[in-house]
Chains A and B, each alone.
Chain A
Amino acid sequence: MISFKKILFALTFTLCSFNIAFADVNDSIIQNSEVAKKLSDYGFFEDLVSQSPSKEVLPYDLISPLFSDYADKLRFIYIPSKGFAEYRPDKVFDFPEGTVLIKTFAYLNEYPGSDLDQQLLETRLLIKKSNQWENVSYVWNKEQNDAFLTIAGKTISTQFINNNGDIQDVRYRVPNINQCKECHQSEKSIQPIGPKARNLDKDFVYEDGVMNQLMKWHKQGWIKKDIKVEAMVDWTNDLASIDNRARSYLDINCGHCHVKGGSADTTGLYLDFKENREIHLGLFKKPIAAGRASNNLKYSIVPGDPESSILLFRMKSLDPGIMMPESGRALEHKEAVRLISKWIKNL
């Protein structure tokens, strides 16, 4: 009897260890020309539901993130073993083949006393294969135990707890593959937006303690040592200058399209962090193709007069023919509107 128990134990143990083996990231699925049908196939997470990453997958955070209808974002990066990412000033790292950037959009509803449970919405992947980035999105099922490949996007009408603790309705849009490209496109190829060194240079609470993210990535063997960058300012940081905060917000929320080679370069309005020509930043710049989105205002930005500035009007609008950004937003980002308004007033 005892021996049978032992065998059973051994068998269970082996099965378990197999299980652990399966929980490892699956490089061949990443490299497959056809993308996996469900998120669990990749093995990025030890526990999908709690979003605990496998040990080869590292969570990370950005100094200033893109606004997506107040959704919380859980970011992870997977770089295959021995992979090395080349540093490029002012650009995202040149990540090696097989890298995957993983971003889960969720309403965590962590407000104290929240009546709403956590809701995972979608997990987007940017996969580097054959020297190109491919973008895919997986939408979480009702049971919240896995996410499934979605081609044409999806509308998720739901609710979340806002910063005041109130329940708010939202028509959250999972973008389709083309809409992903609209923002991620630069000179006709797809590029990640967030992971530039200047947007990563901050501390992060890892399982084994706090460390600067660039330092950690270096310790992982992913990037070179001592990258010197002028770190972005966290746009929510009250201690930083209004100008830096505003430019940081505009950079990450607008600058990927409103930049030479980006989707909105036809307008001549450039909002990336490096732009310093006043007319191209929008100061007394007449609109080109705004149509009714001009709201009968004459200029993108009228220094000192936020209410006369088209830029602020379009940030506030919820009308699809007027609002900016064109996609990925169904709600007003009130805190940012306040900041940009203050910035224009001080110009």
Chain B
Amino acid sequence: MTTYLKQFKFIFFALALSFNCYGATIAISPSDDPYSEIQEALILAQPGDVIHITEGIYKLEDSLSLDVKNVILEGEGIDKTILSFKNQKSGAQGLFVTSDGVILRDFAVEDAKGDAIKVKGVDGISFIRVRTEWTEGPSSDNGAYGLYPVESKNVLIDSCVAIGASDAGIYVGQSENIIVKNSRAEFNVAGIEIENSYYADVFDNYAANNTGGILIFDLPDIPQQGGHHVRVFRNKSINNNTDNFAPEGNIVGEVPRGTGIIVQANSHVEIFNNDIGDNETINIAIVTYGYETEDKNYYPHPKAVQIHGNRFGKSGYNPDLKTGDLAKVLYELSDGNMPDIFWDGIVPLHQILLGQPDEDKIILGDNGEASFLTINGLKYILPFFDPIERDYEKFRGVIKPLLPVKFSD
């Protein structure tokens, strides 16, 4: 008997060793102290290890963090392994990742007091079939961001779900080389937001029932700015008619209910083959950053935005005149005859007088029956001219497709 046991032990040991070569699997199941168990596994993991959390609801009072490279943290399904932070007592996020090459898959983070999953300063991060949700519906008491990679490179978000964030469900900030695909963002203030980032592909996503569906933003006074090269295609951005519930002071607090897509102060953005409709205020808005800033490196105007091949449903039929300036201004300018696509037309003064360089222009391709409205800066400052421009054809041009995003080595 003892020899058998010894043999068994030996085999087990050998197995464990051989596993170790490829990375061990550390399994975690529900227990009395799930926090310590998961957090200890996250700290003691070696690069290449898999931390496998079995099906169940794990009630956590403190924030989890991972700082070991190339670890896979996985559950048993987006609705099966649930990390619940409903009773969180410390830590500003549910899970915080600061190491390169981590894969997060098949689990959910619910009701974090701050952000759900924050990833900062890494090269390589994958979110696959991960859900972040505030379970009691839209509320300004919900955390700001669901999936939140920032200052990172080579970011993949695939087949994820983000619900209820009081800022953005999926938020990629100050990052580079980004793919967000096959994901669903609902009942957030912003469904998907790409901010101050370079090279992003956002496609095959479903953004519905948010305040604004998809936001491509650039802001001043932060380390990385001048967001550029963002492709938004084959998405559905529909029915984004939830009242804005962002706490005031936040930039998304300015987004009117009923917005499909907003591009603010980015350059080289291509929006194509999307279904955008049933948004009560506007389907697509292209706007300048609306506040004064002394940041000399910051360029507040959008440029080189191309829009083509989109299918538009109705919009502008119930604009949100109470939130921010966009809807109000647009409603007055358009006399209530709201367009599908709006560009505020604001450019630097010398360009008002001399015109925009060709490479900076907004280009429209075929967009079915879509209507367009912009403001002519020169006519706006001169008396007796109507600055409102609705002539779609004036902005029609040859589309120069942007290249697909590639992850760097």
Count residues of B near A (Cβ-Cβ below 8 Å). 53
Chain B's closest residue to A288 (CB) is B222
Chain A's closest residue to B61 (CB) is A155
A270-297 to B contact mask, C-beta < 8 Å, 1/0:
0000000001100001111111111111
A321 touches B92 (CB 8 A): yes
Count residues of A near B (Cβ-Cβ below 8 Å). 45
Which listed residue (B35, B148, B249) contacts A298, Cβ 8 A? B249
Asked if A266 is at the interface (CB within 8 A of a chain B CB), the reply is yes
B39 touches A152 (CB 8 A): yes
Which listed residue (B63, B90, B98, B248) contacts A296, Cβ 8 A? B248
Complex: A310 Cα to B63 Cα, angstroms: 23
Which listed residue (A177, A188, A266, A293) contacts B43, Cβ 8 A? A177
Asked if B74 is at the interface (CB within 8 A of a chain A CB), the reply is no
Of the stretches B112-120, B205-213, B236-244, B398-406, the one at the interface is: B112-120
B142 touches A327 (CB 8 A): no
A279 touches B173 (CB 8 A): no
Which residues in A have their C-beta under 8 angstroms from that of B73?
Answer: none
Which residues in B have their C-beta under 8 angstroms from that of A31?
Answer: none
Write the nearest CB–CB distance from B186 to chain A, whole angstroms: 18
A188 touches B247 (CB 8 A): no
Which listed residue (B67, B112, B151) contacts A266, Cβ 8 A? B151
Asked if B140 is at the interface (CB within 8 A of a chain A CB), the reply is yes
Asked if B332 is at the interface (CB within 8 A of a chain A CB), the reply is no
Asked if A315 is at the interface (CB within 8 A of a chain B CB), the reply is no
B145 touches A291 (CB 8 A): yes
Asked if A83 is at the interface (CB within 8 A of a chain B CB), the reply is no
Asked if B367 is at the interface (CB within 8 A of a chain A CB), the reply is no
Which residues in A have their C-beta under 8 angstroms from that of B364?
Answer: none
B221 touches A296 (CB 8 A): no
Which listed residue (B61, B145, B221, B248) contacts A289, Cβ 8 A? B145
B142 touches A292 (CB 8 A): yes
Complex: A287 Cα to B141 Cα, angstroms: 17
**Does more than half of chain A's interface fall in helix, strand or loop, or is it mixed?**
loop
Which listed residue (A177, A268, A279, A287) contacts B249, Cβ 8 A? A287
Asked if B385 is at the interface (CB within 8 A of a chain A CB), the reply is no
**Given A267-B222, A288-B219, A294-B249, residue A320 in contact with residue B43 (CB < 8 A):** no
Which listed residue (B91, B174, B249) contacts A310, Cβ 8 A? B249
A289 touches B223 (CB 8 A): no
Which residues in B have their C-beta under 8 angstroms from that of A179?
Answer: 65, 91
B249 touches A296 (CB 8 A): yes
A153 touches B62 (CB 8 A): yes
Which residues in B have their C-beta under 8 angstroms from that of A155?
Answer: 61-62
A320 touches B39 (CB 8 A): no
A268 touches B114 (CB 8 A): no
Which residues in A have their C-beta under 8 angstroms from that of B89?
Answer: 171, 320, 330
B173 touches A292 (CB 8 A): no
Q: A171-B90, A289-B148, A291-B247 are in contact. List 5 more A-B contacts (CB 8 A).
A: A155-B61, A176-B39, A285-B221, A294-B247, A321-B112
Q: Show 18 residue pairs from A and B whose CB-CB distance is below 8 angstroms, ordered by the A residue.
A: A152-B36, A171-B89, A178-B98, A182-B65, A265-B151, A266-B223, A287-B250, A288-B219, A292-B141, A293-B144, A294-B249, A296-B249, A310-B249, A319-B113, A320-B89, A320-B113, A321-B112, A321-B113
Using a CB–CB cutoff of 8 Å, the interface residues on chain A facing chain B are: 151-153, 155, 171, 173, 176-179, 181-182, 188, 260, 263, 265-268, 279-280, 285-299, 310, 319-323, 326-327, 330
Top 5 closest pairs, chain A to chain B, by CB? A291-B144, A321-B113, A294-B249, A321-B114, A296-B248
